[in-house]
């Protein structure tokens, strides 16, 4: 029974750690992509405007670039990429901390019930993150009807 618990505990930990690590990385990449695009496009607007006398389409290109920046900013804000990145990374780091304690059999994982304790702690960490996520989702203001 103890080997079964050990296998389940490690598998449960690694599965959750992998999930939060990947989610943090994907949110970070997407957020950084949006930030870089925002900076690059913003920087090229004044440069593109210099060609207004040469190409009649320049004003449309500048307007399109400005619109694209607005859309990028709305996506960053609406999807909460930075916030999700930080929350997922924080959860992954907490799980990593418990992994190190568990693997080195440090306190509190130095007792006979260490496998059950790991499962319980991982479950508590994931549950807390889920409550935080749910609270954030519910706090988004919905448009009111008149």
pLDDT recorded at residue 67? 97
Give residues with Cβ within 8 angstroms of 66, minimum separation 6: 45
pLDDT recorded at residue 24? 98
pLDDT recorded at residue 142? 58
CB–CB of 45/65 below 8 Å? yes
The pLDDT-based confidence of 127 (bands split at 50, 70, 90) is very high
pTM summary value: 0.84
Q: Please choose, from the candidates 14, 21, 12, the residue with its C-alpha nearest in 3D space to the C-alpha of residue 90.
A: 21
- Per the prediction, the chain carries an average pLDDT of 93
pLDDT recorded at residue 146? 55
- 7's tokens: 């296998």
pLDDT tens-digit readout, 98-115: 999 999 999 999 999 999
Q: Please choose, from the candidates 78, 97, 79, 95, the residue with its C-alpha nearest in 3D space to the C-alpha of residue 129.
A: 95
Alpha-carbon radius of gyration of the chain: 23
CB–CB of 118/9 below 8 Å? yes
C-alpha span between 59 and 45 (Å, rounded): 10
The pLDDT-based confidence of 143 (bands split at 50, 70, 90) is low
pLDDT > 90 in the chain, percent: 84
pLDDT recorded at residue 133? 85
pLDDT recorded at residue 138? 84
């Amino acid at each position: 029974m103890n080997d079964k618990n050990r296998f389940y505990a490690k598998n449960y930990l690694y599965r959750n750690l992998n999930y939060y690590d990947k989610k943090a990385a994907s949110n970070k990449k997407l957020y950084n992509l949006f930030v870089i695009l925002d900076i690059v496009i913003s920087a090229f607007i004044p440069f593109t405007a210099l060609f207004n006398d040469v190409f009649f389409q320049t004003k449309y290109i500048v307007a399109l670039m400005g619109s694209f920046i607005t859309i990028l900013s709305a996506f960053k804000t609406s999807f909460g990429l930075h916030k999700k990145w930080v929350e997922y990374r924080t959860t992954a780091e907490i799980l990593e901390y418990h992994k190190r304690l568990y693997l080195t059999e440090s306190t509190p994982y130095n007792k006979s019930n260490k496998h059950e304790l790991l499962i319980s702690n991982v479950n508590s960490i994931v549950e807390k993150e889920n409550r935080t996520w749910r609270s954030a989702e519910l706090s988004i203001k919905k448009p009111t009807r008149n």
